[in-house]
């Protein structure tokens, strides 16, 4: 077999691998949809699922038009300036441009959809579509350029293998900003400031969503290798991804069981997702034992994060901020604690004698992302609010966004009887 044939076969195999991973990441949209639908009330189910459908559509078009050029085009340390509408664009890996684009577009859609859960049950649909296009076409790609597109954080040796910062910290921080601006749902907090339980309508649906997300993460993290190689890297990433999710689910369940006396399923599920988010940045740079530690801490963080948000009266119906924002931050700095130079990191982490060098780089990077997203999304949400408004009317919120925004119901054939 000639060298040319071997090279063509290698590119073909890598392309197939990245496309399969892209398809798995796309399927995560179904997971997000099921989780968010299950954790909210039945009267808002169509609305949240429509947002999931349309934000991936908006992300795809926005990332095709402007986002890819900003993220991966030649430019400067802050922004890419070449490849609008993919014209004269170049692939960022040793695979065809269109395969690389599809994989990155699926990531872009994942970042956008995180916000839907945090702002669920009271955000206008048209406002959401505008937000979705802007974050996909402009805001997310700028952060992506800094880290994955050869920007200034990449030059500092900032490490984020699959997106704890690029995807999850971006989505979680945007959700925090939007949720604070929207204010809590009607009836969430009493006059004394204590939270009232607004139960989700379908825990089985949410459970299905978590399993789909867990499954999709095997494309999200291992696929970020962008090649098959000898298989050792994607195998390491896959086992670390799985162990962190398992550890996060267990630790969150134990934590909430100890604190409140019951092993709460919804918290265990968010714990698994927290572990997945936390391992996303360090998955290629740590040993399996470290992945368990990272996931375990992630599960604890999500429980404490939910409690903290309620104390601050920040109403996040699905736990998007603790799962993605807080654990995106944790996963990013975990690289500087557990990461190993022998696994491709620039410097050993703190626990391997590397001192504070990599940890310091990670802190600078993730802090910069949080500040940029907080400022930029505050401007975006403020502009939307003063023009078309962010929040639906009180009547619409009480009746449900399914009827008010879409003129339909998620569960037809049911009639609600009331007594005078």
Q: Tell whether the model's pLDDT for residue 196 goes beyond 90.
A: yes
Distance from C-alpha of 2 to C-alpha of 251, rounded to nearest angstrom: 52
Please write the tens of the pLDDT for every residue from 136-152.
999 999 999 999 999 99
Helices (H), 261-287: 265-280
Q: In the prediction, which pLDDT does 415 show?
A: 53
Are the C-beta atoms of residues 259 and 200 closer than 8 Å to each other? no
Looking at residue 391, the DSSP 8-state letter turns out to be: B
What do you get for the CA distance between the two ends of the chain, in Å? 83
3-state secondary structure of 40: coil
Give the DSSP H/E element, type plus range, for residue 55. Answer: helix 45-62
Q: Give the angle 330-302-190 at the CA atoms, nearest 5°.
A: 135
Please write the tens of the pLDDT for every residue from 244-289.
999 999 999 999 999 999 999 999 999 999 999 999 999 999 999 9
pLDDT tier at 177, thresholds 50, 70, 90: very high
Q: In the prediction, which pLDDT does 6 show?
A: 82
Helices (H), 312-393: 320, 327-338, 357-387
Please write the tens of the pLDDT for every residue from 308-352.
999 999 999 999 999 999 999 999 999 999 999 999 999 999 999
Q: In the prediction, which pLDDT does 2 show?
A: 84
Average pLDDT on 198-221 reads: 97
Average pLDDT on 356-380 reads: 98
Distance from C-alpha of 369 to C-alpha of 366, rounded to nearest angstrom: 5
Q: What is the separation of C-alpha 277 from the centre of its chain, rounded to a whole number of angstroms?
A: 7
Please write the tens of the pLDDT for every residue from 98-132.
999 999 999 999 999 999 999 999 999 999 999 99
Distance from C-alpha of 344 to C-alpha of 353, rounded to nearest angstrom: 16
Give 172-232 as a DSSP string. HHHHHHHHHHH-PPTTSB-TTSPBPP---S-HHHHHHHHHHHHHHHHHHTGGGG-S-TTSH
Percent of the chain with pLDDT over 70: 98
Give 143-180 as a DSSP string. HHHHHHSS-HHHHTT---SS-IIIIIIHHHHHHHHHHH
3-state secondary structure of 80: strand
Q: What is the separation of C-alpha 296 from the centre of its chain, rounded to a whole number of angstroms?
A: 19
Q: In the prediction, which pLDDT does 157 show?
A: 98
3-state secondary structure of 353: coil
Distance from C-alpha of 338 to C-alpha of 68, rounded to nearest angstrom: 32
Instruction: Give the Å distances, CA to CA, from 24 to 18, 218, 273, 399.
Output: 10, 8, 16, 36
pLDDT tier at 419, thresholds 50, 70, 90: very low
Please write the tens of the pLDDT for every residue from 30-57.
999 999 999 999 999 999 999 999 999 9
Q: In the prediction, which pLDDT does 5 show?
A: 83
Instruction: Give the Å distances, CA to CA, from 270 to 129, 221, 229, 335, 395.
Output: 26, 18, 33, 22, 31
Q: In the prediction, which pLDDT does 1 show?
A: 58
Give the DSSP H/E element, type plus range, for residue 401. Answer: helix 401-401
CA atoms within 13 A on the CB side of 395: 1
Q: In the prediction, which pLDDT does 417 show?
A: 44
Distance from C-alpha of 81 to C-alpha of 66, rounded to nearest angstrom: 9
The mean pLDDT value of the chain amounts to 96
pLDDT tier at 171, thresholds 50, 70, 90: very high
Average pLDDT on 168-190 reads: 97
User: Considering the entire predicted model, what is its pTM?
Assistant: 0.96
Looking at residue 341, the DSSP 8-state letter turns out to be: G
Q: In the prediction, which pLDDT does 418 show?
A: 41
Phi, psi of 189, rounded to the nearest 5 degrees: -120, 135
pLDDT tier at 393, thresholds 50, 70, 90: very high
Are the C-beta atoms of residues 341 and 286 closer than 8 Å to each other? no
Instruction: Give the Å distances, CA to CA, from 366 to 176, 334, 338.
Output: 16, 11, 17
Please write the tens of the pLDDT for every residue from 216-239.
999 999 999 999 999 999 999 999
Q: Which domains does the chain have, with CATH numbers?
A: 3-406 (1.10.3430.10)
């Amino acid at each position: 077999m000639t060298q040319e044939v071997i090279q063509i076969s290698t590119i073909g195999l890598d392309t197939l691998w990245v496309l399969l991973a892209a398809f798995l990441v796309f399927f995560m949209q179904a997971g997000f949809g099921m989780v968010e639908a299950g954790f909210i009330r039945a009267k808002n189910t169509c609305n949240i699922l429509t947002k999931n459908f349309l934000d991936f559509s908006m992300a795809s078009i926005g990332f095709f038009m402007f986002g890819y050029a900003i993220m991966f085009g030649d430019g400067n340390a802050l922004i890419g300036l070449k490849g609008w509408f993919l014209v004269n664009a170049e692939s960022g890996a040793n695979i065809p441009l269109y395969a690389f684009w599809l994989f990155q577009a699926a990531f872009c859609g994942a970042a956008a959809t995180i916000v839907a859960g945090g702002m669920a049950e009271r955000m206008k649909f048209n406002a959401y579509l505008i937000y979705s296009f802007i974050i996909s076409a402009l805001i997310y790609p700028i952060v992506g350029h800094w880290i994955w597109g050869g920007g200034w954080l990449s030059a500092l040796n900032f490490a984020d293998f699959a997106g704890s910062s690029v995807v999850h910290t971006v989505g979680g921080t945007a959700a925090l900003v939007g949720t604070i601006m929207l204010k809590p749902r009607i009836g969430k907090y009493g006059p004394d400031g204590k939270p009232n339980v607004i139960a989700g309508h379908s825990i089985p649906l949410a459970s299905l969503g978590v399993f789909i997300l867990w499954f999709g993460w095997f494309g999200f993290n291992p696929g970020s290798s962008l090649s098959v190689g000898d298989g050792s890297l994607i195998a390491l990433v896959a086992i670390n991804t799985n162990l962190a999710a398992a550890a996060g689910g267990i630790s969150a369940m134990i934590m909430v069981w100890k604190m409140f006396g019951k092993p709460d399923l919804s918290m265990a599920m968010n714990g698994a997702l927290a572990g997945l988010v936390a391992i996303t940045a360090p998955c290629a740079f740590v040993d399996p034992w470290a992945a368990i530690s990272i996931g375990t801490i992630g599960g604890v963080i999500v429980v404490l994060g939910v409690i903290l948000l309620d104390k601050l009266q920040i109403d996040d119906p699905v736990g998007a901020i603790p799962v993605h924002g807080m654990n995106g931050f944790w996963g990013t700095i975990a690289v500087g604690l557990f990461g190993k130079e022998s696994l491709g990191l620039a410097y050993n982490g703190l626990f391997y004698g590397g001192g504070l060098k990599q940890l310091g780089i990670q802190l600078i990077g993730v802090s910069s992302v949080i500040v940029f997203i907080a400022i930029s999304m505050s401007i975006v949400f403020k502009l939307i609010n003063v023009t078309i408004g962010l929040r639906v009317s009180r009547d619409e919120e009480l009746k449900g966004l399914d009827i008010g925004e879409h003129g339909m119901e998620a569960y037809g054939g049911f009639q609600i009887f009331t007594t005078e």
